[in-house]
Amino acid sequence: MTNKPKHRNKVHLGHFFWPTSWVLIANVLAVILNIALMKTTPLRGATEVVTNAIASHHDLLNTLSGIYSISAFPLVIGLMLWYQWPVIRAIGRLRRGEGSPDSKARQRLLHFPTTAAILSAIEWLFPLLLFTLVIPSFSEGHLVFFFQRAMMLVFVGLLASSVAYYGSSWALRRLIECFFPEGQLAEKSGLKPVSTRFRLYFFYIVAGVLPLITMWLFFYSYEPGNELLLPMGIIAGMALLLGCWAANSLFIRLTRQLKQASEVATAVRNGNLEGWITVTSRDETGRLGDGINKMIAGLLEREQMREVFGHYVSPEVRDHLLAEPPQLGGELREVTVLFADIRDFTVLSGKLTPQRLVGLLNRYFTTAVAVIDNHRGYVNKFIGDAVMAVFGAPLDDPRHTVHALDCAQEMVARIETLNNTGEMEVKFRVGIGLHTGEVIAGNIGAPNRFEYTVIGEPVNVASRIQSLSAILNRTVLISKAVNDVCGKKLEYVGEHELKGLEKLQRLYAI
């Protein structure tokens, strides 16, 4: 049994504002980088033209810059808070103990990193449009300079988007634990998950591809005739190709093994233990595959033991006994006990070889056990050619007496059908005894070896009634306790003495 996280009572708004702060952190870093690049990048003769162009539209640019500077960051944070408002309300409900977050709040929470990345990218879209669409019209002939500035804005915008996405994803872990204490994020949210391969490729493009391309364009924009541009382009191109090949190989292998592990784990959860992971590495994914394979092997072994156990008890009883750790002890239960025995078995056994006798007994017991299982009975034990069944334990059954009586009637009919098939060398006649009463039901034995059984006078009475059925020449003999509660009209056969009991017993027959 796994321990479930208990964070719900400790959740507070600080857990929400911590990932939100990463949106601000990402954009502040982007602003710092943008200023640093603008201050350190030489203009190469374009200073006068650019200065004149900017000066001639000073009022317009100042107005746009002021409006943007004042409204951009607060607008982004405001949009984040508006979109994530269901999450904030869900945090309040968790704090007050008013129930679990609804599906809308869970979806919005999982959308948080994507929303942060999109809003951060949009935040830098306005300056990009300003440089690429508006300012070039101020100074025709210097488009290379403005193209370089646009590339710089693309780079810092992607940087802001990436930091906002990965930073908020990392900071959301505590909230995700509170909103999804049992995991199953994809199933409970109803959202299609973002693949690991996509996130790895996005990170590689931002951290590897764009910086190389941007640096080469910087050099080209200032000195298009420089002889170093060709070898630098070759080196950058080879680095990109080699990096793409290495990253692609790594990402494909990693995501392939993760996908296979996910598919096998899903199959195991659905009860399919035939899956297996092909392990081709010694790293973390390889150890993960080995761990899942060992888990499957252990589950297969447990399932085999469970199936073997199911041959000794019915599947329902097996699942009931396996639901809790077994321990010695019992409880008082009212049950109906059924004993069924083959008449004249000693005489029959002398006419058959041991192998043939065992084969016929197995046919008989197969029929008897099937009938008992169909009527919610529990085969407690086989005693030679006799079978003892209990109705009402270990599974609760308010109508255990009726089910036991119906089982006895069907058992007689099924055995008669078996005798008439012509497959039996001898015909079996059975005697059945039924009694209802309170018994001690539980695990009896030693700490290292015990069995589930019932103990008490009703067991002995049922056994004595079955023995008397042969003397009275009755197939099914029933106690007064069964007759009083079964609601069926049974034939009264008088009062009879049972061995070991002082009082006479009123008996009935079918």
Place of tokens 């009022």: 59
Alpha carbon of residue 162 to chain centroid: 30
Burial class, 327, CB count within 10 angstroms (exposed 0-12 / middle 13-18 / buried 19+): exposed
Return the amino acid letter for 327.
Answer: Q
Ranges of each domain in the chain: 1-193, 330-509
Strand-strand pairing, 430-446 and 476-479? parallel
> Do residues 364 and 342 touch, judged by C-beta distance below 8 A?
yes
> Do residues 416 and 451 touch, judged by C-beta distance below 8 A?
no
For residues 382 and 339, what is the distance between their CA atoms, to the nearest angstrom?
10
For residues 481 and 508, what is the distance between their CA atoms, to the nearest angstrom?
10
For residues 385 and 364, what is the distance between their CA atoms, to the nearest angstrom?
9
Which whole-number Å values give the CA distances from 234 to 86, 240, 242, 288, 351, in the listed order?
52, 10, 12, 40, 97
Q: What is the CATH number of domain 330-509?
A: 3.30.70.1230
3-state secondary structure of 231: helix
Q: How many CB atoms lie within 10 A of CB 114?
A: 14
Strands (E), 327-429: 329-342, 377-383, 386-391
> Do residues 27 and 123 touch, judged by C-beta distance below 8 A?
yes
* pLDDT for residue 2: 43
Return the amino acid letter for 452.
Answer: Y
Strand-strand pairing, 386-391 and 329-342? antiparallel
Alpha carbon of residue 131 to chain centroid: 51
Place of tokens 């999450």: 87
Contacts of 487 (CB under 8 A, 6+ apart): 402
Which whole-number Å values give the CA distances from 36 to 41, 49, 72, 138, 150, in the listed order?
8, 22, 20, 24, 15
* pLDDT for residue 284: 67
Which secondary structure element, helix H or strand E, spans residue 446, and what is its range?
A: strand 430-446
Dihedral class, residue 356 (left if φ above 0, else alpha if ψ from -120 to 50, else beta): alpha
* pLDDT for residue 1: 40
pLDDT by residue (tens digit) across 357-386? 888 888 888 889 889 988 988 888 888 888
**Which residues make beta-bridge pairs with 381?**
388
For residues 76 and 156, what is the distance between their CA atoms, to the nearest angstrom?
17
Provide the whole-model pTM: 0.51
Residues of the chain with pLDDT under 70: 1-9, 38, 41-71, 129-149, 183-196, 217-218, 221-224, 247-253, 255, 278-286, 305-329, 447-449
For residues 218 and 226, what is the distance between their CA atoms, to the nearest angstrom?
12
